[in-house]
C-alpha cells in the first residue's frame, strides 16, 4: 500500500509527529509537514530526513493562518492529513483556556475548511485517552462513556464530535479518531525524541532529565492512590509503536470506512514507581524522587483495551517498558539539551 500518496502532517516537527514522519517515509509515502514551531524544533525534521535518507517538504505555517494553509494545498495534491498540531499541556490548559480553545479548536476548524475546499477527505486525528475522563472500570474500551476533566481533554472531545458531525453532513469523509494513552520513548537511533521546552509536563522526559543531571530530583504526585504501590498507573506506549498505528489507520481510511475510533495503548498498566525502577535499571543510576501531593484532575489508574485496533487494523504495541526506558535514555544521552533550543 502507499505507492506515492502524499500525506500532510500538521505538527509534524513535534514529538509524535516526527516519529510518524519517519514511519510514513519508510512506508513510501510522500510527506508535507506544517508546523509553527511554537513547541518544536526544525532540527527534528532534519533528523527525520537523516534517519530515513528521504526528504520531506516543510512549511512553517500556523493552522490559524488560512491563506498559508491554502498555499500548502495549492502547492501539493494532498491525499490525506494526519492532524497532531495543538497545545498539549493539561495543567496549562486549565490556566489558559482561551489560548487553548483558540489555538486547538479554531486551528482544527481552519484545517477542515481548507481540506473541504481542496476535496481532501481522509483524516487521522490525534485524540487522547483524556476523553474517557475518570473511567468507572478498567481496561477502557472505545464504547466507554466520554467526559472531560480539563480544557485540553474537552477540546479533544469537541473535535471528535465536530468530526463526527462533519461525516454525518458528508459521507465522503473518512476519519480515524486515535485515542492515545501515554506515549513515551524515542526512536531507536537516538536521533529524535521528546524535547519539552522548559520544565517537562510528562513523567518520562522528567525522569530522563534527572538521570542526565539536568534536574536534581523527580516529583511523584501522590503515593496514596488505590493502586498496588500507591502511585498512579498508566498505559505507557512506545512512540514508535504509536507511529505504526497511524500508518495502519491511514491504510484503513483508504478502504473508505467512514468514522472509525481506536484506542492505541499496550493494554497494560505500569505504575510511576515501576517506571522509575525500570529507568534506574537502564541507566544504572538512582533516580532521586520526592513524593508531593496529588495533582488536581489526576486519576488513579488508566489503561487501554487495545484489542479493537488489533482486530481491525492489524496493529499491536510490541515494545516493552524496558525498550521505552532504553530508547529514552539513548536519546537523552545523545542529546542532553534536546535539539539544542531548550534553555538550561
Residues belonging to the active site: 152
Contact 257, 313 (CB under 8 A): no
Calculate the CA dihedral of residues 32, 312, 238, 148 and round it to 10 degrees. Answer: 90
If we measure between CA atoms, which residue out of 41, 10, 200, 245 comes closest to residue 104?
10
Report the C-alpha gap between 329 and 282 in whole angstroms.
Answer: 8
Using CA atoms, how far apart are residues 183 and 334, in angstroms rounded to an integer?
20
Asked whether the beta carbons of 180 and 172 are under 8 A apart, the reply is no
Consecutive H or E run containing 302? strand 301-302
- Pick the closest to residue 303 from 339, 333, 278, 266 (CA basis): 266
Using alpha carbons, select from 246, 192, 215, 238 the residue that is nearest to residue 13. 192
Residue matched to cell numbers 481491525: 312
Amino acid at each position: 500500500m502507499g505507492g506515492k500518496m502524499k500525506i500532510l502532517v500538521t505538527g509534524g516537527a513535534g514529538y509524535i509527529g516526527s516519529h510518524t514522519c519517519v514511519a510514513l517515509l519508510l512506508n513510501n509515502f510522500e510527506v508535507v509537514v506544517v508546523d509553527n514551531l511554537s513547541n518544536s524544533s526544525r532540527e527534528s525534521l532534519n533528523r527525520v530526513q537523516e534517519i530515513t535518507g528521504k526528504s520531506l517538504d516543510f512549511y512553517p505555517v500556523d493552522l490559524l493562518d488560512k491563506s498559508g494553509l491554502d498555499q500548502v494545498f495549492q502547492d501539493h495534491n494532498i491525499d490525506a492529513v494526519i492532524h497532531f498540531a495543538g497545545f498539549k499541556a493539561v495543567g496549562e490548559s486549565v490556566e489558559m483556556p482561551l489560548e487553548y480553545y483558540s489555538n486547538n479548536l479554531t486551528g482544527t476548524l481552519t484545517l477542515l475548511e481548507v481540506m473541504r475546499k481542496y476535496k481532501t477527505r481522509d483524516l487521522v486525528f490525534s485524540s487522547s485517552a483524556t476523553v474517557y475522563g475518570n473511567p468507572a472500570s478498567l481496561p477502557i474500551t472505545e464504547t466507554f462513556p466520554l467526559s472531560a476533566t480539563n480544557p485540553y481533554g474537552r477540546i479533544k472531545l469537541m473535535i471528535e464530535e465536530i468530526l463526527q458531525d462533519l461525516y454525518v453532513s458528508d459521507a465522503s469523509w473518512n476519519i480515524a479518531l486515535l485515542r492515545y494513552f501515554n506515549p513515551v520513548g524515542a526512536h531507536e537511533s537516538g536521533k529524535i525524541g521528546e524535547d519539552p521546552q522548559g520544565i517537562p509536563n510528562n513523567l518520562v522526559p522528567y525522569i530522563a532529565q534527572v538521570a542526565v543531571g539536568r534536574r536534581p530530583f523527580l516529583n511523584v504526585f501522590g503515593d496514596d492512590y488505590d493502586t498496588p504501590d500507591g502511585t498512579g498507573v498508566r498505559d505507557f506506549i512506545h512512540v514508535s509503536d504509536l507511529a505504526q498505528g497511524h500508518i495502519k489507520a491511514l491504510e484503513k481510511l483508504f478502504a473508505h470506512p467512514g468514522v472509525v475510533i481506536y484506542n492505541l495503548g499496550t493494554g497494560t498498566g505500569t505504575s510511576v514507581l515501576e517506571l522509575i525502577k525500570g529507568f534506574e535499571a537502564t541507566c544504572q543510576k538512582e533516580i532521586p524522587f520526592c513524593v508531593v501531593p496529588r495533582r488536581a484532575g489526576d486519576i488513579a489508574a488508566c489503561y487501554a483495551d487495545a484489542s479493537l485496533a488489533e482486530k481491525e487494523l492489524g496493529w499491536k504495541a510490541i515494545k516493552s517498558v524496558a525498550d521505552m526506558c532504553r530508547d529514552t535514555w539513548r536519546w537523552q544521552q545523545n542529546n542532553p539539551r534536546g535539539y539544542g533550543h531548550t534553555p538550561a
